[in-house]
Structure 1
Amino acid sequence: MTSYLTKILEKYKLQENLEWQVDEKRESIINEMKNITHENYYSALFAFMDLTASKDKKFIGTINNNGFVIRKRIKPFDFMPIMAKVTAEFKNVDGKTKLIAKVNGMRIILLVIRLIISTLLCLLVLLVVIESLIPPIGEVNPFPDLLILVFITTIFVLIPLLLGQRNVRNMKTELNKIFE
C-alpha cells in the first residue's frame, strides 16, 4: 500500500530521489553538514523552536556517520517556509561513495487525508448536480454551491499540493548548491 502511495507522491512531484557522486571523504561532508545544520529535532511540529537556533545555521536536523535527516530552518517573518524533509544516506557503490537522498514534500498520511477530502468533495458535487436535475427541486441554481465546493477544494487540496511541489523544488535547489 505504501509503495502505491509513494508512486503517487513521485508522480505529482511531492517526493523526489536524488543522488550525488561524492568525491570528498565522507567525514568532510559530514563535518560540512554539521557546520550548517543545527542539531535539533527535525520535525516541522517544533518549527517555532527554530528561532532559538543560531543565525548561521541553514538547516535543522540530525546527522550521523550513515546519513542525515534535515529540513530547512524557519526564520522570523518567513511567510513561505520550505518544510520539505530530506532523508539521506551514504552508500558505497563500485568503490565510490554516493549520497542518496529522498526529498519529501508531503507525508503519506497527509496524502491519504487529501485523497479522502477530494473523494468527499466529488461526492458532494455529484449530489449537487443530481439535486439540480430532480424536477421538484430542479429550479435551484447549483452554481453557487459548486463554486463553494471548488473554493473548498482549492484551499484543502490544490494549495497544499502546489506548496509541497514548491518545497521539493526549493530543497532540491538548496542541496544541489551544497553537493555540486
Structure 2
Amino acid sequence: ALIFMGFLFLSYFYSAPPLRFKERPFLDFSSNYLYIMPGIFAYNLASGALPDPLILFAGYCHVAAMHIFSAVPDTEYDRIAGINTTPVFIGRRPALAISAFFWLLLSIITVCITGFHPLSFLVFIYPAFSLSVLLIRRIRIEKIYWYLPHVNTALGGLLFLALINYRVFHWI
C-alpha cells in the first residue's frame, strides 16, 4: 500500500500546488521515480519483497537522466514561463553533464549486475546521447532527443526477448 500511495503522491504533486515538484530543481527529476513505481509495485505483489536496492537505484538513475535530458530543450520556454526546472537553475550544459553522469551510473550498474554479459554493454548508448550533445556542437538536442523512444523500445524489446530466452530456451 505504501508503494502505491507513494506513486499517487508523486503523480499528483509533480504538477499540483503547493508542492509542484516540476518547478523545483532536483525535485523535478527525483519525483519522476513515479515512472518506475508501477514496476516496483508489481514486483512486490508477485514476490512479496522489493527489488534489490541496486536495481532501485539504477531505476532512479535512468528516470533522473531521462527527465533532465528531456527538460533541456525546454529550458528557455520554462525560464520565460517562470518554471524553475533543474536545467533552468543550473544551465543547459551542466544539466547535460548530470544527465550523462546518471546514465553512466546506470550503464555501469547494468553491466555489473548482468555479470558483464555482452548484450548489457548496449546500455552505454544512453550516456552517449548526453555526451554527444555536450561534446559535438553540431548535434542538436532538439533533434537527437527524438531517437530515444526508438532506443527505449529496441533495448526494452531486447531485454524482454533475453528474459524469455533465459527462462524458456537458454540460448544466451
TM-score range, shorter chain: under 0.3
In our comparison, the structure showing a higher alpha carbon Rg is: 1
Q: Which has the higher contact order (CA 8 A, sep 6+)?
A: 1
Structure with the larger helix share = 2
Q: What TM-score, normalized by structure 1, do the two folds share?
A: 0.25
Structure with the larger strand share = 1
Q: What TM-score, normalized by structure 2, do the two folds share?
A: 0.26
